Amino acid sequence: MKTTLKYALRLALLLLAVSFVVFALVSASPIDPVQANVGQAAYVTMSEEKRAQLAEYWGAGVPFWERYLNWLSAFVQGDMGTSLRFNAPVAEVIATRAVNSLALMALAWLISGVLGFVMGVVAAVFRGGLIDRLIKGYCFVLASTPTFWLGLLFLMVFAVGLGWFPVGFSVPLGKAAADVTLLDAAHHIILPALTLSVVGVANIALHTREKTIDVLESDYVRFARARGEDTWRILRRHGLRNLALPALTLQFASISEIFGGSVLVEQVFSYPGLGNAAVTAGLGGDVALLAGIAVFSAAIVFAGNLTANILYGVVDPRMRRRRGVAEGSLPEGEGRCAAEGGGTR
């Protein structure tokens, strides 16, 4: 109960800070929302009254504090405001966009997680060998590749050159929304998801490789070997168990990275997701939408980290049983081991 309250408070503070920063940044931004949204040519030919009217619509003259507090009091009451750019409630815009984005990210997240884990373990088992070098080389190259550049490259090769995939968007152009099949959606999601996951793999594989090497060089693996277990059996019996914790942390921490990457990838593939909307909102001075998206994504990343924390307790008996004793105190078993080990050297 106490823990739940602590997490809730932490989330509230996080969202408050995120929204504040968004508002502060937008008010400090040199973009004139009227100019940005009406377009240069229309703005020049526009009458003075019309400009004033638009400026009022965009709330250009309202001071920063007033604007923020207005938004905040509405947000607390459950109203995320209206997107001026999309001319629709922010909640609605986010809801439609989030479906696309979350599908894209979930796919990329799963592919990179599973592929990265397998590659990391394989590289660690054959460390120093050819397979290890190939996997490491692949990871180093990809870890230093900008996501948007890789997206462009994929577009050039697979969409333009080979024509296997569409060049952009989440559904075929000129097709009525009711006619769009799941297959269409899948066809459109593959390339952006692939771009995201291919980049994400590098990070996860390299981390998993290090962790696996740690496990393979640990005392308990040495002892298991001394008892006649071979490498693959050891990996199955002890490796997966001990790799689960770092893998979970890594996987849930990578949500934020995937989120960041999706902004760029959605831009490159004109994929109508949250990232795309965030860019539009930022460039158009649509502060309500931008704040809405920022708060939404912060909540998702927070939920990811929280899930990792909860799963920790489920997977690790040291934490599970410690909770029963006393929160925050040193587990007695660990202290005992440390005291014992200390006496030997």
Partner 1 sequence: MDSREHERFHAEGIPHDHDHGDGAREHASSRHADAQHHHGHDHACVSRHPHGHHLLQVENLCVSFSMYDPDEPFFRARKRDVKVIDNLGISVHEGEIVAVVGASGSGKTLLADAVMGLFEPNATVTGTVWFDGVQQDALGLSELRGRGLSLVPQSVAHLDPLMKVGAQVEGLPRGGETRQARRRRREELFSRYGLASEVAEMYPHELSGGMARRVLLCCALMDSPRVIVADEPTPGLDLELAVRAMEDFRAFADAGNGVLLITHDIELALRVADRVAVFKDGTVVEETAVANFASPDTLRHPFSRALWHALPEHGFEVVGENEVAGAEGSCGEGLLVGDALEGIAGADTPCGEGAGFTC
Site string for partner 1, 175-214 (x = CB under 8 A): ----------------------------------------
Least Cα distance to 191 among 151, 160, 156 occurs for 151
331 binds partner 1 (CB under 8 A): yes
286-315 binders of partner 1 (CB under 8 A)? 315
CB 39, min distance to partner 1, A: 58
The DSSP code sequence of 295-330 is HHHHHHHHHHHHHHHHHHHHH-HHHHHHHHH-TTSP
DSSP 178: G
Cβ atoms of 205 and 114 within 8 Å: the answer is no
DSSP 271: -
Give the interface segment with partner 1, choosing from 163-171, 228-236, 279-287, 298-306 (CB under 8 A): 228-236
Rounded Cα distance between 311 and 290, Å, is 32
Tell me if residue 272 falls in helix, strand or coil. coil
Give the interface segment with partner 1, choosing from 39-47, 189-197, 269-277, 333-341 (CB under 8 A): 333-341
61, two tokens: 């003259």
| Residues whose CB falls within 8 Å of the CB of residue 253, separated by 6 or more in sequence, listed in order | 304, 305, 308
Out of 4, 40, 45, 344, the only residue in the binding site for partner 1 (CB under 8 A) is 344
115-154 binders of partner 1 (CB under 8 A)? 127-128
Site string for partner 1, 60-89 (x = CB under 8 A): ------------------------------
Out of 59, 167, 225, 299, the only residue in the binding site for partner 1 (CB under 8 A) is 225
CB 134, min distance to partner 1, A: 18
Number of other residues whose CB lies within 10 A of the CB of residue 40 = 8
Q: Which residues bind partner 1 (CB under 8 A)?
A: 127-128, 219-220, 222-229, 233, 237-238, 241-242, 315-318, 321, 331, 333-334, 336-337, 339-345
